[in-house]
Amino acid sequence: MNFERKVKGALEDVDYESPIVVYRADKLARTYKKTYKGDVNPSVAVDVFYTLYLPYPKAKDKLEDKILFLNKIIISKLMNLKDYAKLKYDTMVDVDISFAYTVSFLKKLIEALRREFEKAKTSKSPSKAKTLYNLINYLLGKNINYSSIPSESTLEEKVLEKAIQEAHSEAEQIANNVRELKSIASGSRAGKYPGLFTSGEFLVEALKLAETAYVTEILKNVKHVLSKTITIVHKEKRDHKHGVYDGVTLGKDISRILPRELTLEDDVFYKKLVDSELLLRKRILIEKVGPLYVLLDKCLASGTLITFSDGSTDNIETVSEGDTVLSLRFSVESSYRDNLFEINKIKPVLSRAKIKEVIYSGLREVYKVETEHGAFYATLNHSLPVIRNNMLYETIVANLRRGDRILHVDHESKCRIVLSRIRRITYYGKGKVWDIVLNNDHYFVANKFVVHNSGSMIGKKTVWARAIALALFKQSREENREFYLRFFDYMPHELIRVRRRARPKEIQELFMSLLTIISSGGTWIAKAIDTACRDIVKNRVEGVSTIVLITDGIDAVHEDTVKSFLEEANAELVTVMIGGLNETLRRVSKKYFVATMVNDVLTVKEM
C-alpha cells in the first residue's frame, strides 16, 4: 500500500508507522471522500479516531512537526467536552462507532468553520478570515506553507471551540444511530459482528442513512417498541423432566430435587413431599421453531371529481403533479386519560395540499358507495375515514357497513363538513382507476367525500412499520431464529433472508432495504401471505414458522384462502395493524396487534 506522505499525529502511545494505523488513516480518508465527495486530512482523522477508540488517549508534550499543534488543539478541545466520558463509553474499542463519529465529526467541523469564515469575511476581519481559511485548508488535507500556519496566539480558539461543540452535537447523534443499528444486529449478544459497518463499503451508506431525520425517528421508535410493549412472538416452552435447566420450581419429583432439601429433618421432608412443596430443578423443552417471516407493507375510478383549494373541481385523470387540492387533517381538541385508556376528541380541519404523484392503476373492479348525500365510486381496497359507534376508524370500502357514517364536504355551505350515513354498496363494473399521493395530510376530497390518498403507508405509518420490523429483527437475533423479510404492494418483492449465523453482508442488505425503500401505492395481502408460505415450504424449515404481517389492512382478504396457505406451511399469522381496521385479518391471526402512539411513545397492543 503506497501513501503520498507519512502519517503523523499528536497522540502518545500511537505508532503512526504501524500498518494498522496507516490502514485506518487511509480508510478514514477514503470513507470521507466517498461519503461527502471531498478530501480530509488523514493525520487529523486518525488522531480523532484514536482519541475516541483508545481507553486513555494523551496528547504529546513534544511534537515532531510544528503543524501538528493544530491536531493537538482539536483533540484537546474534544477531550475537554462535558460529555466526552459519555461518548467514550460508546466508542472505546469499537471500530464501527469510532469510525462513524470521526468521519461525521470532521465533516460537521469543516462546515461550522466555513460558516465562521463567511461571517469573518462580511465583518471585515481579514486576520480572522485568513486564520480560518488556513485552518479549513489544513483539515481538507491541502498543502499549506508553514508561514501561513496560525500560531497559538492568533488561532481563534473560542471560534474553534464553538465549532467543535457544534460538530460534536451532530456527530454524536449519527454515532448513536450507528450504535442502535449495531445493537439491533447483535441482539442481546454484546460484541457480535465487530466491524459490521467498516467491512466492505457499507460504512458510506450507513453514514448517509444515519444522518437522516427519517432514520433517527425510526430508531427512536424501535427503542420504544422494545421497552414499552409485550413480546410479539416467542418460542413455545413446556415443562419436561429431561429438558434444559430453567431455574427452580416446587413439586415432588425426587429425581430433580435440590441438594439442600436432603438436609431437612425427616418429618419436614415428608411433609413437603406430600404437599408437593420440595424445591426442584425446573427443566423445560424449547420447541423447535421456524423462521420469523415479516411481510411489510391502495385507488379511485376515473371520472371522480377532485376538489381544488379554490373550490373548483376536475376529473381525477386530468389533475397534475403540483396542483393544490382541498385536503383534510384531524386535530385533537381535548383528551381524557386514566390508568387504563386514553380518549381523544378529534376535530376534522380542512386544509390545502399539493399533489405529489398521480397514479394510474389500470382496469379494476369498481363499486358504487351510496350515501344520504350522494354517491362515489371506488375499488374495494380504497381507504377512507369512518365513524362507527361514535369512534373514528380508517377502513376500506370492503369493510364498510350500512349505517356507517363518512365525511361529506358541502360545497354550497363554504365547504362545511357533515356526516353522511351509508345506505348501500353495489358492484358497478370495471373501469380505469386512478389515485393521487399528497405531500401532506393524506386525505383529499373526491366527489365531495373525504378519502385517503394512495400512499397509505407514507409518513408516520411508514416510520412505525419500519420500527416494528427492526424490533422484530432484533428479537429474532436474540432467539437465534432465521429472519425473512418481504416488502409487498401489488406484488411481493424480492426475499431478504438473514440466517442464524448471518454474514455481515446479509444484515447490511436488510438495513439498506428497511431504511431506504420508499412506500408506494397498492396492496395485495393475500398474495403476500401466499408467497411467504411458499417460501417456508420451499426451504423445508422445521417447527412452526411465524409470519408477521405489518400493514394498514387496506385490502380485501378471503379468510378460507389465507387459512389454507398457513395450514400447508405449518405457519401462524401475527398481524400488526398500523392504523386502520381489518376484521378478516383479525379472525385468521393467532395474535392481532394495533400500533398506537401513547404519550408520544409507539406502543403495540394486543387486541
pLDDT digits (tens, 9 = 90+) for 371-394: 998 888 888 888 888 888 777 777
Predicted confidence at residue 3, as pLDDT, reads 43
Question: Dmax over Cα atoms in the chain, in whole Å?
Answer: 97
HSE-up (13 A, CA, CB side) for residue 588: 24
Predicted confidence at residue 492, as pLDDT, reads 82
- Lookup result for grid cell 398474495: 527
Dist. CA 401–CA 55, nearest whole Å: 65
HSE-up (13 A, CA, CB side) for residue 122: 6
Extract the C-alpha cell encoding 224: 420504544
pTM, full prediction: 0.65
Extract the C-alpha cell encoding 89: 463509553
HSE-up (13 A, CA, CB side) for residue 244: 4
The dotted CATH code for 300-452 is: 2.170.16.10
First to last CA, the chain: 61
Sequence-ordered list of residues with C-beta below 8 angstroms from that of 214, at least 6 positions apart, any chain: 463, 515
Extract the C-alpha cell encoding 35: 461519503
State mean pLDDT over 246-273. Answer: 87
Looking at residue 399, the DSSP 8-state letter turns out to be G
Contact (CB, 8 A) for 353 and 439:
yes
Looking at residue 555, the DSSP 8-state letter turns out to be S
Dist. CA 594–CA 600, nearest whole Å: 15
| SS3 state at 176 | helix
Predicted confidence at residue 420, as pLDDT, reads 92
pLDDT per residue as tens digits for the range 130-139: 888 888 999 9
Contacts 24+ apart (CB under 8 A), 407-414: 407/328, 407/348, 407/449, 407/450, 408/371, 408/373, 408/374, 408/448, 408/449, 408/450, 409/307, 409/326, 409/350, 409/445, 409/448, 409/449, 409/450, 410/373, 410/448, 411/307, 411/311, 411/448
Comparison of pLDDT for 93 and 165, the residue scoring more = 165
Dist. CA 136–CA 159, nearest whole Å: 13
Average pLDDT, the chain: 81
Q: Where do the structural domains in the chain lie, given as residue ranges?
A: 19-180, 237-286, 290-296+460-606, 300-452
| SS3 state at 311 | coil
Predicted confidence at residue 396, as pLDDT, reads 82
Among residues of the chain, what percentage have pLDDT more than 90? 20
Dist. CA 110–CA 44, nearest whole Å: 12
Comparison of pLDDT for 240 and 372, the residue scoring more = 372
pLDDT per residue as tens digits for the range 157-183: 788 888 999 999 989 988 998 888 888
140 — pLDDT class (breaks 50, 70, 90) = very high
Predicted confidence at residue 122, as pLDDT, reads 81
Among residues of the chain, what percentage have pLDDT more than 70? 83
HSE-up (13 A, CA, CB side) for residue 285: 7
Contact (CB, 8 A) for 77 and 112:
no
Contact (CB, 8 A) for 444 and 451:
yes
Predicted confidence at residue 383, as pLDDT, reads 82
3-state secondary structure 101-140: HHHHHHHHHHHHHHHHHHHHHHCCCHHHHHHHHHHHHHHC
Q: In CATH, which superfamily holds the domain spanning 290-296+460-606?
A: von Willebrand factor, type A domain (3.40.50.410)
Contact (CB, 8 A) for 113 and 139:
yes
pLDDT per residue as tens digits for the range 423-454: 988 776 666 777 788 887 778 888 888 887 75
User: By C-alpha distance, which of 70, 41, 53 is closest to 14?
Assistant: 53
- Give me the DSSP letters along 447-494: TTEEEE-S-TTSTHHHHHHHHHHHHHHHHHHHTT--EEEEEBSSSB--
pLDDT per residue as tens digits for the range 323-333: 999 888 877 66
Comparison of pLDDT for 502 and 36, the residue scoring more = 36
Indicate if the alpha-carbon torsion angle 7, 11, 17, 19 is positive or negative. negative
Predicted confidence at residue 104, as pLDDT, reads 93
State mean pLDDT over 495-508. Answer: 86
pLDDT per residue as tens digits for the range 453-464: 754 444 567 778
Please report, as a single letter, which amino acid is at residue 85.
A
Q: Cα 74 vs. chain centroid, distance in angstroms?
A: 34
HSE-up (13 A, CA, CB side) for residue 448: 20
| SS3 state at 431 | strand
- Is residue 475 predicted with pLDDT exceeding 90? no
pLDDT per residue as tens digits for the range 511-570: 888 887 655 556 788 898 999 999 989 888 777 888 999 887 767 788 899 999 999 998
Contact (CB, 8 A) for 577 and 562:
no
Where b means 16+ CB within 10 Å and e means fewer, 157-179 reads eebbeebbebbbebbbebbbbbb
- Burial (0-12, 13-18, 19+ Cβ within 10 Å), 309: middle
252 — pLDDT class (breaks 50, 70, 90) = confident
Backbone angles phi, psi at 505, to 5 degrees: -60, -35
Q: How far is CA 95 from CA 50, 54, 210, 429, in A?
A: 10, 10, 16, 61
Q: What angle do CA 152, 57, 103 make, to 5 degrees?
A: 75
- Is residue 154 predicted with pLDDT exceeding 70? no
